[in-house]
Amino acid sequence: MGYKFSKEEMASIFSKLAVDYDVFAPVVKKGDGTFSDVDVVRYDKVSSLDEIEFEKKSDYSFKEALLPINETIFYFTEDETTVPKGPAKERLVFLRACDLNAVKRLDQIYLKNGFEDFYYKRTREMTKFVLIGCKESCASGFCASMGTNTTDEYDLYLKLDGDNAYVEAKDEKLTEIFKAGKEETVSPDFVSENLIKVTLPKNITPETMKSELFKEYGNRCINCGRCNFVCPTCTCFTMQDIFYKDNERNGERRRVWASCQVDGYTEIAGGHGFRGDNADRMRFKVMHKIHDFEKRFGYHMCVGCGRCDDVCPEYISYSNLVNRLGKECE
């Protein structure tokens, strides 16, 4: 059901909402970009509507709202282990269609690939998603190519338009809150086409794995891992055991985001690593996104948000690599 509000009304409702919920949304972090006097848009907890960046696609995805960069698995005190508490409040996560499609991928790994993940699950179950529409395509995304340009998995759709705000609430509890507004038909803005079009390779063979393209791009790669860290579908982590400097018998185990492009990712005790070569890492990443995830789960991992292209300091275009690979495989 859709409702219309004035922007002021919406701001006021939102402020109340932000008391009951932990609201995670893209925020412009002034000067926090890689370079001096450059901003970054990333997720943070917000308490008012005007903190939210609705226009620019976030540089880092929503995923940290579900999967903290650092997450404590348990504390240990001598021989005992204690699991930290889960979220105290339900949470709202503002995101776009591509990202909401990415939630499905996170669920796939964390809930449906072997064991269920205790930590993800308890947060996920308390999370509702608020869709931000896309009136026009961003410059680097190719969601239409990946079929992730639309979604109906949102609990709320919220749109600001001039002095007005529109919502469509699907979640019952949220509907309660917004039904005070003027009823109006509201349907999300989705793009149907992007500037970037990606055609996935059709016939991937063992030969594909040896494509010179991986070498070419691998040589350009500096193994910084940004492509993974901004990606809404990358889920890897590493375990870290910390001992407290004040009492070395106590500490905690954490899981921390990991990147398949960064040194050490495949390294086992004794120092042997399995993908020392950048070409192999590049292949591994790309193939995961457009080939083997699909092989295992039946649909592609990549949601075409384009963040990896935007963030790469070496201007490696994953989308271009995929298109070139597609042509090679024809």
Partner 1 sequence: MKNEYIPQLSEIKEVIKHTDLEYTFRMAFDGEVKPGQFFEISIPKYGEAPISVSGIGDGLVDFTIRRVGKVTDEVFENYVGDKLFIRGPYGNGFDINNYKGKEIVIIGGGTGVSPMRGVIQHFSKNPTDAVSTTVIAGFKSPDDVLFKKDFEEWSKTINVIKTVDNAPEGYDGPTGMVTKYIPDLKFQDIKNAVFICVGPPIMIKFTIMEIQKLGVADEQIWTSYERKMCCGLGKCGHCKMDDKYVCLDGPVFNYTEAKELFD
Partner 2 sequence: MSLDINTKKAKKNAWRITKERGIGASRIRVPGGYCDAEVLGMVQEIAQTYGNGYVHLTTRQGFEIEGIHLEDMEEVNKKLQPIIEKVGINQKGEDKDKGYSASGTRNVSACIGNNVCPFANYNTSNLARRIDKEIFPNDLHFKVACTGCSNDCAKVRMHDFGIIGQTMPQYDPMRCVSCNACVKGCQSLSVGALRMENYKIVRDTEKCIGCGVCVTKCPTRAWTRSEKKYYKLTIMGRTGKKNPRLGKDWLIWADEDNIVKIIKNTYEFVEEYISPNAPARKEHIGYIIDRVGFEKFKEYALKDVELMPETIMNNTVYWDGIHFDNQH
Residues that bind partner 1 (CB under 8 A): 73-74, 76, 79, 81, 83, 109-110, 113-119, 121-122, 206, 209, 235-243, 248-249, 251, 253, 255, 258, 260, 265-272, 274-275, 280, 283-284, 287-288, 292-293, 295-296
Query: Quick one: tokens of 244?
Result: 């407290």
Q: What, of partner 2, partner 1, none, does residue 319 touch, CB below 5 to 8 Å by kind?
A: partner 2
Residue 202 touches which of partner 1, partner 2, none (Cβ within 5-8 Å per kind) = none
Q: Which does 31 bind (CB under 5 to 8 A by kind): partner 1, partner 2, none?
A: partner 2
Q: Which does 42 bind (CB under 5 to 8 A by kind): partner 2, partner 1, none?
A: partner 2
Residue type, 143: C
**Smallest gap, in angstroms, from Cβ of residue 112 to partner 1?**
9
Binding segment for partner 2 (CB under 8 A), chosen from 31-39, 83-91, 118-126, 128-136, is 31-39
**Quick one: which of 70, 81, 82, 113 contacts partner 2 (CB under 8 A)?**
70
Residues in the chain, total: 330
Q: What is the size of the binding site for partner 2 (CB under 8 A)?
A: 48
Across the beta sheet with 70-77, what order do the strands follow? 80-82, 70-77, 247-257, 237-244
Burial class of residue 275 in the structure, from the number of CB atoms within 10 Å of its CB (0-12 exposed, 13-18 middle, 19+ buried)? middle
Does 247 engage in binding with partner 2 (CB under 8 A)? no
Check if the beta carbon of residue 274 is closer than 8 Å to that of residue 283: no
Does residue 319 belong to the site contacting partner 2 (CB under 8 A)? yes
71-75: long-range contacts, CB 8 A cutoff, minimum separation 24: 71/119, 71/237, 71/254, 71/255, 71/256, 72/252, 72/253, 72/254, 73/119, 73/239, 73/252, 73/253, 73/254, 73/255, 74/252, 74/253, 75/250, 75/251, 75/252
Cα 233 to Cα 61: distance, rounded to the nearest angstrom: 9
Chain centroid to Cα 81, Å, comes to 30
The binder of partner 2 chosen from 226, 285, 288, 300 (CB under 8 A):
226
Which of partner 1, partner 2, none lies near 96, with the C-beta cut-off 5 to 8 A by kind?
none
Least distance (Å) from partner 2 to the CB of residue 95? Answer: 18
